[in-house]
Amino acid sequence: MIRPPDYVLGIQPYVPGKPLEELERELGITNSIKLASNENPVGPSPAAMQVLQCSFANIHRYPDGGGYYLKQALAKKLSVGEDELILGNGSNELLDIAVRTFMKAGDEAVMATPSFVVYAMAVQAVGGRPVQVPLKNFMHDLSAMADAITPATKIVFIANPNNPTGTINRMDEFEQLMERVSDDVLVIVDEAYFEYVSDPDYANSLKYLRSDKNVLVLRTFSKIYGLAGIRIGYGIGRAELLTDMNRLREPFNTNSIAQKAALAALGDTKHVRHSRDVNKAGKKYLYKELQALGLPYIPTHANFIYIPVEDAAALNEGLLKRGVIIRPMGPKAIRITIGLPEENKRCIEALKEVLNA
C-alpha cells in the first residue's frame, strides 16, 4: 500500500463545517444562522450578481489564463504594474504556491500562533518546519518573530488583521521587523480583511514593493466583496518574484465566472462602503451586549470577534442547539462573525440562554 511521506502524515487536515442543511437535519432545527466563516452577511455586490447572471454562455471555453482584464483593473486601482499581480483560486492557493516555490524540505517558516491554520499546513506539505511564535496581547509579536528567524528561514507569515483575533500590526513595528529581515527571506502579508480596517497607523505593506525586500501581499474577493463561493484572490509582489511563482501556478487556476464577478465587484465601491457600515454597526452592538453579559472580547479590526471563554465546546454545543453556528477556537475561545442586525441580536439572545443554563 502506498503511503505519503511522514511530513504529510503529520498534517492535521482542515476540518470544514458541515453544510447548514445537514446541521439542521441532525439537530432537528430550522432557520439557523451561520456566524462561523467570516463571510460578508450583506452578500455579494449587486454588480457582480448582474454579471454572474450573464456569464454562463461561454463556460465551454477555458478562462483567460492570465486574467487580463481583472489584472488591468487591479493595477489601475493599486497603482502597480500588471506584472506585479498574480491571481489565485482564493488567496489560499497563492500562499500554497509561494511555499512550494520558495521552500524545500528542512526549511523553516516563521508564523504567529494562533493564526490562520493553513500557513503551517502548507509548510508541512513540502517537508518544511513551521516555527510558531505565540501572540503577545493577542497580536503578532513581530519582535519575537524576528528573533525566531534563522539561516534556515525562508518565509515569514503575517496575518494583518490576524485571524482569529482580529488584531492588527501598525506601521512602526512592521518597519522594525522589515529592517531585520534579510533579502533571502520572503515576507507574506495576508491582508484578507484589510478593507475593514480604518486605523490610520495600519501597516502599509505595499510600501515595500519598490524596496529590496521580498514582500508578497495577499488579498481576496471572499470577504468584503462577498464572493467566497467562487474562490478568487490576488497577490501583489515584485515581477521577478511572481515570475518564479508562475512556474508552479496552474494554467487556468481562476475560472472565467470568478474573474468577471471580481472585476464587477472591484468597481462597486457603494457595496464596499455599505458592507463596512453594516460591520461597524454590528461590532458596536455586539461589544455593548458582550460587556453586559460579562464576556471579555478582543477589539477587532475585521468582521469577526474573538471571545475568550471557559468552555468553548459547551458554549458551541449550546448555541448549535439554538440554531446559531459559530467557530470554536480551541478549548478556551470562540470566534463569532459579525452578521446582519437580526443575526447579531439572535446570537446574543442565544448566548444569554446558554450562559443562564
Tell me: the pLDDT tens digits for 293-343? 999 999 999 999 999 999 999 999 999 999 999 999 999 999 999 999 999
Q: pLDDT band at residue 54, thresholds of 50, 70 and 90?
A: confident
Cα 207 to Cα 20: distance, rounded to the nearest angstrom:
41
pLDDT score for 151? 98
CA dihedral of 236, 238, 244, 248, whole degrees rounded to 10: 10
Between 292 and 17, the higher pLDDT residue? 292
Domain(s) of CATH 3.40.640.10: residues in the chain? 46-266
How many residues are there in the chain? Answer: 357
Domain(s) of CATH 3.90.1150.10: residues in the chain? 15-36+270-356
Say yes or no to pLDDT of 73 above 90. Answer: yes
pLDDT score for 3? 87
In 3D, which of 221, 230, 202 has the Cα closest to residue 275?
221
Q: Per-residue pLDDT tens for 98-124?
A: 999 999 999 999 999 999 999 999 999
Say yes or no to pLDDT of 7 above 80. Answer: yes
165 and 136 Cβ atoms separated by less than 8 Å:
no
Q: Per-residue pLDDT tens for 143-162?
A: 999 999 999 999 999 999 99
Task: Report the topology of domain 46-266.
Answer: Aspartate Aminotransferase; domain 2 (3.40.640)
Furthest-apart CA atoms within the chain: distance in Å = 59
Cell 447579531, located at residue: 344
* pTM attached to this predicted model: 0.96
Q: Per-residue pLDDT tens for 11-33?
A: 888 877 667 788 788 888 888 99
pLDDT score for 210? 87
Q: Which CATH number describes the domain made up of 15-36+270-356?
A: 3.90.1150.10
